[in-house]
Structure 1
């Protein structure tokens, strides 16, 4: 395993980070989820990402149970706040002071820890003054309940504003968690340059594009039974933007590149996002322990320039690069 500094801080995290969105507490049984976490630990993964909204708080509980007995100082545990949780009351959502301070206590209880290493704003809250949000995060840090603060899917402008307030309030905003893959490159135009300037790293989700970059989805064929594209609980909706025959055909054209580097397509996809020096970690999930072991093999891989060029040529016009997509995909109002 390789380790990278998270933003302009002294915190190191494993460049392969295990995440439990769409799996723990919903798609897989708890015993399998625990086996996946144990496999990650055995492979040298020390960083684990979750959120209170995943499976409506159940994912945090599963992760806390799976990590029980591990030396806390040897782990980096990340969670998030923003999306509706619990009974979804009118204050059970967003980034108000009330919701943040109540949510961190719930997350710590479920994760069975006194603190999280990174507490993240899961989206930008358009209905709460940014000053209120950042003051609440400052208080969470000063109370010792979180060591660092991060965000997820914020625009370059939002990152600049949040970073400035964090400095005024005496704490560090050190990370952003965006979607990023060979197919989804929207952060490269504005978010990454701003982040480099501010000392913020990316912890990227969906580096395998919801499984599309594994090559298991074939053009003109029905998705494999039990795959994410057949999951009616949310997985199919997330992956549908990539379930296009042109996209799937171009992904198949990546096989010679992966084979030339002695990698699977999934390993190539994870290694590709880690090639960006502003990326501190790639989040990988799993529904089987062996998937973890395979994905971890992408750690420390160097992709030569000719292979990077071949990837771009193979994918061509199906790569999404428009920086405006970050703002387009953000919630315009606080979710109820």
Structure 2
């Protein structure tokens, strides 16, 4: 396994990570989840990616349970969570977003579900137009100073929003964002390669990308339609099916 530093930080994470989205909490049983995490660990993966919204928090609970069951050494792996969508099926206003309250509450809930004392990486899962960026940056800085988060970052934020967060943190001597988690694959390159490019050197931004195979499209598995056991065929995944099939049509037209 290859390991790379996270942006300008000193944290070495595996070039491949293992994430809990879709599969954990809903699709695979706990014993299979345990086998998957064990296989990832045995092959050198040290970064396990999660979010409060995955299966309404159940994915993080499964991840925490199997990591504890496997007795992985806490100093040997990195675990993440993300805050924005909330973990309730029908979240109330204070149960979602990037207010200081929800950023803090969601961190504490993730710690309980993942059964850890701190999060290695903590992401703002989407930008929140209703929360001042300064409030979110301050909340993240507080969690870092409390030892509950080591590094925080963003996911699907614009370069301008990340730049604002970096500038606010610098002015107040707060901990700024260290990483962004964008979609990046052969069909989605501009944001990573063009929009974020000035931030890599200027802000020391690192990336932990998602969907490198465009949700399976680039693997060729959907060339003949949607297999019965594919995630696109699962209940509630119509939005992803429309997205992937739309991408496939675009590729064929190109």
1:169 pairs with 167, 173, 176, which one? 173
CA distance in 2, matches of 1:224, 1:85: 29
Give 4+ residue runs of structure 1 displaced > 3 Å after superposition.
244-250
Given the alignment of the two structures, is residue 232 of structure 1 paired with residue 235 of structure 2, yes or no? Answer: yes
Contact kept? 1:77, 1:117, Cα under 8 Å: yes
Question: Which residue number corresponds to residue 189 of structure 1?
Answer: 194
Given the alignment of the two structures, is residue 40 of structure 1 paired with residue 44 of structure 2, yes or no? Answer: no
Give secondary structure in 1 for the equivalent of 2:222. Answer: coil
1:155-166 to 2 correspondences below 5 Å: 155-166=158-169
Give secondary structure in 1 for the equivalent of 2:179. Answer: strand
Deviations 1:77-98 (A, max 9, x none): 1111111222511200000011
What is the CA distance between 1:116 and its match in structure 2?
0.8
Unaligned runs of 5+ in 2: none
Given the alignment of the two structures, is residue 85 of structure 1 paired with residue 87 of structure 2, yes or no? Answer: yes
What is the CA distance between 1:217 and its match in structure 2?
1.3
Contact kept? 2:17, 2:45, Cα under 8 Å: yes
1:243 pairs with 242, 245, 248, which one? 245
CA distance in 2, matches of 1:155, 1:90: 24
**Cα RMSD after superposing both structures:** 1.6
1:71 pairs with 70, 73, 89, which one? 73
CA distance in 2, matches of 1:222, 1:148: 41
- Scaled by the length of structure 1, the TM-score of the pair is 0.70
What is the CA distance between 1:164 and its match in structure 2?
1.4
CA distance in 1, matches of 2:187, 2:76: 34
Give secondary structure in 1 for the equivalent of 2:80. Answer: strand
Given the alignment of the two structures, is residue 179 of structure 1 paired with residue 174 of structure 2, yes or no? Answer: no
- Scaled by the length of structure 2, the TM-score of the pair is 0.92
Q: How many pairs are equivalent?
A: 248
Contact kept? 1:138, 1:169, Cα under 8 Å: no
Contact kept? 1:135, 1:169, Cα under 8 Å: no
What is the CA distance between 1:65 and its match in structure 2?
0.8
Deviations 1:5-61 (A, max 9, x none): 101111111110111111100122222122111110011100111001110010110
Question: Which residue number corresponds to residue 203 of structure 2?
Answer: 198
Give secondary structure in 2 for the equivalent of 1:35. Answer: helix
Name which structure has the greater RCO, CA cutoff 8 Å, separation 6+.
Answer: 1
Given the alignment of the two structures, is residue 207 of structure 1 paired with residue 212 of structure 2, yes or no? Answer: yes
